[in-house]
Structures are given as C-alpha cells and as structure tokens.
C-alpha cells in the first residue's frame, strides 16, 4: 500500500457471489495473498487454520493446505461438511464445503482437493481508517492472556479504530489459536502504555522474514480505551496527510 490510509467507507451488507468468474477471482485473491483460512466443522467448536494453495478455474477445483492443528484431517477423512472463512483487506469471504474432499499432493506437499464452491458470501465490514506505521514509528507490543504464558513480544505494524496488525519474531503459530481472545495486548503508545483485550483473527508465519504476523481485533474496549486508540489513529492520519502535501 503506497498510501498509509485507505478510506474503506462504511460497512456494506453481505452479498452472495454466484457468478463463476467472481467466485474464482475472490478465491484466487486469497491464494495469491496467502490469507489464512479458518475452518470449522458442523457440530464442532474447534477451529482449524489452513491456506489455499491452488485455485484452478479450468478444472473447477481448489486445494487446501494441511490443517493446523493437523488432527482436523480425521474429520476430512470422515467426510464431515465444513465452513471456510477468510478476511482480505476488511472483506469477509466465506463458503460451505458439503462434498467430501480428496487427499492428495501438490508439488510434493500434502493437500486436500475440493470443488470450487458455487457461491461465496462477500461482506465488506471495515469502516475505519487503517494507519500503516513507518519503520521509525513502530510500536512495541506484548501479548499475553490466560491461554498464553509467558507473553510474546513484538511490534505493531498498523492500527485502526477496530484492530491492528502485529509482527512477532519467530514461528509462534503453535502457541496461538485464531478466534481466541487474549486479555493482555499491551501497546506502548506515544502518550503511554495501554492494555486491552483483542481477538486473534488472522495468523501466519513467513519463512522469508522469520516472523509471525497477527491480525487482531480489539475486544470490548472501554470508552476511554476507544478514544485513546482513535486519538492515536487520528494523529497518524494528520502526519500522513502533512507528508503527502
């Protein structure tokens, strides 16, 4: 993103995309951007993470990477239907997989083949500016909670009124669970440290940088906390506009 602020507009009502080209284009976008998928099986509360490793319009198939944690494979083998949910730049994309999948390989790695869905739910939800921090502005963070001890330390890469993106050194994916609320997200903001609760929405590890990237959504913030975050985002917004002049 060249511009650190993108006005996403207000949230839009969800749309059902059924045109084959639209379905393919949105799933292909998830694959190309390596956006994490959250997979849930009907009648089960556990959540699994995966990625799209192939989207083939000619054959009308797609391939999922192995599930994290991998014990979810037994539900796939049993032919249990599941739901897939992903987020890309504030847009929620979701679909149902009712047909049994086929276990196979892609470029020597294990994967799960499925038919392209006939329709996907497309929901533009973000309604806040997202400020991308410059290298000189990166904010120190510490993430902890009842399900996470000891704490993990890293940096905040961007922030909006509703959430933020974090970078933590090393591969911490085994210690974190998408969908989990962590009560101790401590942000070292310029006007003082602040600790809030946040839900982990996205999680992936990038080997090239040897870092884990987390998409966090602020959870049940107080009015004071909300104002502090909005004040910081507004400050970044003004600084970015001045630098663009």
3-state class (DSSP) for residue 55:
strand
Whole-angstrom Cα Rg for the chain: 19
Work out the number of other CB atoms within 10 angstroms of the CB of residue 131.
Answer: 24
Same domain, 75 and 149: no
Domain carrying residue 72: 15-124
Last residue of a domain, one of 124, 143, 177: 124
Average pLDDT score over the chain: 85
Secondary structure, 3-state, 130-186: EEECCHHHCEEEEEEECCEEEEEEEEEEEEECCEEEEEEECCCHHHCCCCCEEEEEE
Most confident of 1-5, 36-40, 81-85, 190-194: 81-85
Instruction: Write the pLDDT tens digit of every residue in 112-125.
Output: 999 999 999 988 75
CATH, residue 43: 2.30.110.10
Residue 11 token pair: 């949230």
- Answering whether pTM is above 0.75, one says no
What does the alpha-carbon distance between residue 74 and residue 64 come to, in Å, rounded to a whole number?
A: 15
Work out the number of other CB atoms within 10 angstroms of the CB of residue 205.
Answer: 15
Query: Taken in order 90, 68, 27, 211, is the CA torsion positive or negative?
Result: positive
Same domain, 49 and 134: no
- Say which range, 3-12, 17-26, 75-84, has the weakest mean pLDDT: 3-12
CATH, residue 205: 2.40.10.220
Say what the alpha-carbon torsion angle 93, 132, 175, 81 is, to the nearest 10 degrees: 0
Is 192 a domain residue?
Answer: yes
Is 70 a domain residue?
Answer: yes
Task: Summarize the confidence of residues 13-27 as an average pLDDT.
Answer: 89
Number of domains in the chain: 2
Output the pLDDT for position 41: 94
Last residue of a domain, one of 124, 142, 162: 124
Q: Is the pLDDT of residue 4 over 50?
A: no
Is 2 a domain residue?
Answer: no
């Amino acid at each position: 993103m060249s511009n650190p602020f993108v006005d996403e507009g207000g949230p839009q009502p969800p749309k059902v995309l059924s045109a084959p080209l639209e379905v393919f284009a949105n799933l292909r976008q998830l694959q190309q951007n390596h956006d994490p998928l959250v997979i849930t099986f009907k009648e089960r509360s556990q959540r699994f993470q995966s990625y799209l490793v192939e989207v083939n319009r000619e054959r009308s198939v797609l391939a999922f990477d192995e599930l994290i944690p991998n014990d979810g494979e037994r539900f796939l083998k049993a032919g249990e239907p599941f739901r897939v949910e992903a987020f890309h730049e504030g847009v929620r994309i979701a679909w149902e997989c009712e047909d049994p999948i086929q276990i196979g390989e892609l470029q020597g790695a294990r994967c799960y083949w499925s038919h392209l869905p006939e329709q996907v739910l497309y929901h533009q939800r973000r309604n806040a500016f997202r400020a991308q921090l410059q290298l000189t502005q990166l904010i120190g963070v510490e993430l902890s909670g009842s399900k996470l001890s000891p704490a993990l330390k890293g940096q905040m890469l961007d922030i909006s009124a509703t959430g933020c993106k974090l970078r933590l050194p090393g591969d911490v994916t085994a210690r974190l669970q998408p969908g989990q609320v962590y009560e101790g997200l401590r942000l070292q903001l310029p006007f003082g440290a602040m600790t809030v609760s946040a839900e982990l929405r996205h999680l992936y590890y990038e080997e090239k940088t040897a870092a884990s990237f987390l998409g966090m959504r602020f959870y049940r913030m107080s009015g004071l906390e909300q104002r502090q975050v909005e004040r910081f985002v507004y400050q970044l917004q003004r600084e970015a506009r001045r630098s663009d002049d």
